[in-house]
Amino acid sequence: MLLACRCLYNVVDILPPTARIIVGHGGLSVLCANLLNIEYIDVAELTVSTIELISEDQPVQVLKAGGLQAILTFLDFFQISVQRQAANAAALMLQAVTPPDVFEQHVKPVLPTLAQLLQHSDPQVLHSICECWRRVIDGCIAAHERPKEEPSNLGSLVSRFAAEASLRVKLRFSFWSI
């Protein structure tokens, strides 16, 4: 298992687009399950590193696979360097504004854990956790400010976007003809 984790880590480290392949073939669920059922600490530490790398390229997919819960559950059992990687991965997962259903299912359950981590003694871990909170708050503000579109208004929404796209194309071509 350790060798497989090392291979995944090295492949994603050397060739970051392979993170999409791992995500597409269900590798994230295996990595997250590996963190939730720790058998070997060295495999778990390497799994944290791998999830951090994948989070740089595919943060929302890692979040949807349960990566935030998995990476924060046993954070205290790891060495401080791995705790820093885990906290950074958590901040990466929360960088995109997530839809309300993703927030309810994957972010809201770990808010108590994130609150406890605000008392962490390491400044780098604390910085990443504060970054997590900033991104959660930014996501909530963005979701609150976002206009609510009804499914019945979907046609008008599509036509509005089509009209805007058409206008952009016309402006672009009129600029080049000058």
Three-state SS annotation for the chain: CHHHHHHHHHHHHHCCCHHHHHHHCCHHHHHHHHHHCCCCHHHHHHHHHHHHHHHHHCHHHHHHCCHHHHHHHCHHHCCHHHHHHHHHHHHHHCCCCCCHHHHHHHHHHHHHHHHHHHHCCCHHHHHHHHHHHHHHHHHHHHHHHCCCCCHHHHHHHHHHHHHHHHHHHHHHHHHHCC
| Mean of the per-residue pLDDT values of the chain | 83
Say if residues 125 and 116 touch (Cβ distance below 8 Å). Answer: no
Q: How far apart are CA 48 and CA 84, in angstroms?
A: 10
Q: Please name which of 32, 30, 34, 42 lies closest in space to residue 2, comparing C-alpha atoms.
A: 42
Instruction: Compute the distance between CA of residue 56 and CA of residue 95 in angstroms, rounded to an integer.
Output: 10
Residue range 17-27: average pLDDT? 93
Domains and CATH numbers, the chain: 2-147 (1.25.10.10)
**Mean pLDDT confidence for 55-67:** 93
**Statement: residue 154 has pLDDT above 50:** no
Average pLDDT over residues 68-75: 94
pLDDT above 70 coverage of the chain, percent: 80
Examine the pLDDT at 168 and tell me if it is beyond 50: no
Dihedral angle at the C-alpha atoms of 143, 145, 149, 154, nearest 10 degrees? -90
In angstroms, the CA 138 to CA 98 distance is 10
Length of the chain in residues, anyone? 178
Place of tokens 């687009």: 17
Percent of the chain with pLDDT over 90: 65
pLDDT classification of 68: cutoffs 50, 70, 90: very high
Residue 104's pLDDT band (boundaries 50, 70, 90)? confident
Mean pLDDT calculated for residue range 55-66: 93
d(CA 144, CA 90): 23
Residue type at 52? Answer: E
pLDDT band at 50 (very low <50, low <70, confident <90, very high): very high
